């Protein structure tokens, strides 16, 4: 399996298919590069080089005990782009991966970057604070940690079967293969990485990162997102980005790159080609 080794000795697994302008995909918590199957195949057939990695502690990457924070996530992504010597790359991040993309560009610069898209992403800040009253209370994230500690397998079944894909909404039929694939990806990763990752995606403030980014960024968010609520995420990120564009999807859930891949892929393609 193709892997790079970071400066602190972590093996990062990645996929690298095709040729042409590179599109680099950063996945959400607690999943893996496999969550981008629908996008990787679509853009490969559109003539792009597609790349996706498993975040440290996730999927097939090393299950280390430490380094599960946005600085390390961004540095690992930078190490991958340097190893592959990418230029003119488009970075696409979903959920936690959207935070990773934003922090990577702000922390490591735009020399290798052409554009970015963040989908149902955690920026600017998920946690409720005095400066962010619309965020979610810390008790919400404490509950996630408690469920993970009590039974990760049960938690990783209930989350995709319910709010992640919107299967808990009236009239929405549960697609069991999606639930099983979510569980598979989650259980492949490490419990410690996933536990620590909750703080990374909920407590990191990306406000200043967003303000630094000058390349075009497409902000894509469903207004029925039950994981990263729309009002305190997508619109605020688009306002903070100097060159950001917000695209809102009525009724779409958090996992819309999977449940509505045809729509998301078409809009990403239009943005990349524009």
Q: Is 111 an active-site residue?
A: no
DSSP-derived 3-state class of residue 186? helix
Q: Are 100 and 106 in contact (CB under 8 A)?
A: no
Q: Is 254 a catalytic residue?
A: yes
Which residues are CB-neighbours of 94 under 8 A, at least 6 positions away? 25, 26, 27, 28, 35, 36, 118, 119, 120, 121, 257
Active-site entry in 95, 221, 232, 237: 95
Q: Which pair of structure tokens corresponds to residue 226?
A: 């039950």
Active site residue 151: no
**Catalytic one of 34, 76, 225, 232:** 225
CA distance 153 to 106: 35
DSSP 100: H
Q: Where are the alpha helices (DSSP H) in 189-243?
A: 191-203, 207-212, 234-240
Query: Catalytic residue positions?
Result: 95, 225, 254
């Amino acid at each position: 399996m193709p892997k790079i080794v970071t400066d602190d000795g972590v093996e990062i697994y990645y996929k690298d298919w095709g040729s042409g302008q590179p599109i680099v995909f950063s996945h959400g918590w607690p999943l893996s590069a496999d969550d981008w199957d629908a996008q990787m195949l679509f853009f490969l057939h559109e003539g792009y080089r597609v790349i996706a990695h498993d975040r440290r502690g996730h999927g097939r990457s090393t299950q280390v005990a430490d380094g599960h924070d946005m600085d390390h996530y961004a540095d690992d992504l930078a190490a991958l782009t340097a190893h592959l010597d990418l230029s003119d790359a488009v970075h696409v991040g979903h959920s936690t991966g959207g935070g990773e993309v934003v922090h990577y560009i702000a922390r490591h610069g735009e020399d290798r970057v052409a554009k970015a898209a963040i989908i149902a992403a955690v920026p600017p800040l998920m946690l409720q604070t005095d400066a962010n009253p619309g965020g979610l209370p810390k008790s919400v994230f404490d509950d996630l940690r408690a469920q993970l500690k009590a039974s990760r397998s049960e938690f990783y079944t209930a989350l995709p079967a319910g709010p992640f894909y919107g299967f808990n909404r009236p009239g929405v039929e549960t697609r069991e293969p999606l639930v099983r694939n979510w569980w598979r990806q989650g259980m492949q990763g490490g419990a410690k990485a996933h536990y620590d990752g909750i703080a990374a995606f909920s407590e990191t403030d990306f406000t200043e990162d967003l303000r630094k980014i000058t390349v075009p960024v497409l902000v894509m968010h469903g207004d029925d997102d039950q994981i990263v609520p729309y009002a305190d995420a997508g619109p605020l990120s688009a306002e903070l980005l100097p060159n950001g564009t917000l695209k809102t999807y009525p009724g779409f859930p958090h996992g819309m790159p999977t449940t509505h891949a045809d729509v998301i892929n078409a809009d990403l393609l239009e943005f990349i080609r524009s």
